Amino acid sequence: MSDLVVSLPAEGLREAIGEVPDVEFVEWDLAGDAPRSSIDIVVPPYWGGNRQLAALAAVNARLVQWQSIGYNGAEKYLPAGVPLANAATVHEASTAELALGLALAAQRGIPDFVRAGDAHRWELRSYPSIADRRVLLVGYGGVSKAIEARLAGFETHITRIARTAREEQNLAGETVAVRGFAELAEALAEAEVVMIAVPLTAETRGMFGAAELAALPDGALLVNVARGPVVDTDALVAELQAGRIRAALDVTDPEPLPADHPLWDCPNTLISPHVGGDSTAMLPRMAALIRRQIGRLQAGERPENLVIGDWA
């Protein structure tokens, strides 16, 4: 049996994966010539976007292992017939941590305290809690389930909404009710904190427009760890400039956010630069996923997380 050929970018993955029998690892960042004409698993660089996938036209690739959960736009550049697996299991914990961190910081006034501290000012103010708040999780995939698990000790009232209404198990093994997107306006009107963690699709692009944002109660907090285009930026800026709602955003549209964009100067707005999944947890979890994918191919099994293409 010949060795599997796995290409990795120069991001520390090779060392993190360790020794794997019957595997030849080659370095390739998709920017130069391919090191082999046939590669069993291609792992593109984490940063670089979808355009880099066009380089796969020069090789016979059995599987592309993407390093992000989101893969919107990948099909535009991925050669026809090449299967792609996303990085489910890698980023959920870190993204949920940041979502909760953004919500806590925004609720408890941390940005204001930091600014006051920089100016050596003691500013005693009261801010809203997370406890007792009505939290709406928009999307109920791995990230939202991880957010829910981390909210378990914060004494919140959680509502879940996703594309289809259903009952589903959460990470604690409890069966919970999930409402459908048809009820979004009603759910928003009841929410005090909204956490968005949906994939970017034709259905979710612009999902939070002027009407949806207007449905939120005064003072509501919108947390977006999904993708920027899920929210209509102009509509959000209008609501924020009016001081009616608040926002904590790890993603924006456009992205990166230009220095002169009005979103930077909106009141009650906290922005992080799309770092939800980019923590110390990523490298070992990504390495573990690649090891599992190698094991599945060696055993003649279907890879995990196939989101584009099929597996013969």
**Each residue of 151-161: pLDDT tens digit?**
999 999 999 99
Residue numbers of the chain with a pLDDT score lower than 50: none
Task: Report the domain count for the chain.
Answer: 2
Q: What is the CATH number of the domain that holds 53?
A: 3.40.50.720
| Per-residue pLDDT at 1 | 55
Which pLDDT does position 11 carry in this prediction?
85
Question: Do 57 and 120 sit in the same domain of this protein?
Answer: no
* Own/partner long-range contacts of 25-28 (Cβ < 8 Å, ≥24 apart): none
Residues 113, 32, single domain; the answer is no
Q: CB 1: neighbour CB atoms within 10 A?
A: 5
Known catalytic residue: 190? Answer: no
The rounded distance, in Å, linking the Cα atoms of 161 and 136 is: 7
Cis ω on the peptide bond leading into residue 9 (within 30° of 0)?
Answer: no
State whether 189 and 79 are in the same domain. no
Q: Are residues 86 and 96 in the same domain?
A: no
- Give Cα separations from 55 to 8, 33, 51, 225 (angstroms): 14, 9, 8, 29
Q: Are 196 and 250 part of one and the same domain?
A: yes
Indicate if 23 and 98 belong to the same structural domain: no
DSSP H helices in 202-278: 210-215, 233-241
Q: What is the pTM of this model?
A: 0.93
- Please tell me which residue in 203, 255, 301, 302 is annotated as part of the active site: 255
Cβ 276 vs Cβ 95: under 8 Å: yes
Q: Are residues 100 and 194 in the same domain?
A: yes
The whole domain housing 181 covers 91-271
151 and 211 assigned to the same domain: yes
Which tens digit of pLDDT belongs to each residue from 233-267? 999 999 999 999 999 999 999 999 999 999 999 99
User: Do residues 50 and 164 both lie within one domain?
Assistant: no
Handedness of CA 102, 108, 111, 114 (dihedral sign): negative
Catalytic residue of the set 62, 160, 274, 285? 274
In this structure, the answer to whether residues 217 and 290 fall within a common structural domain is no
Q: Which tokens in the block code for residue 248? A: 């904590």
Give residue 173's pLDDT: 96
For residue 156, report the phi and psi dihedrals to the nearest 5 degrees.
Answer: -100, 170
Asked if 54 and 106 sit in the same domain, the reply is: no
Residues 30 and 95 in one domain: no
Q: Which position among 227, 239, 246, 285 bears the catalytic label? A: 227
Active site residue 255: yes
In angstroms, the CA 210 to CA 117 distance is 35
Query: With contact defined as beta carbons under 8 Å apart, do 225 and 250 qualify?
Result: yes
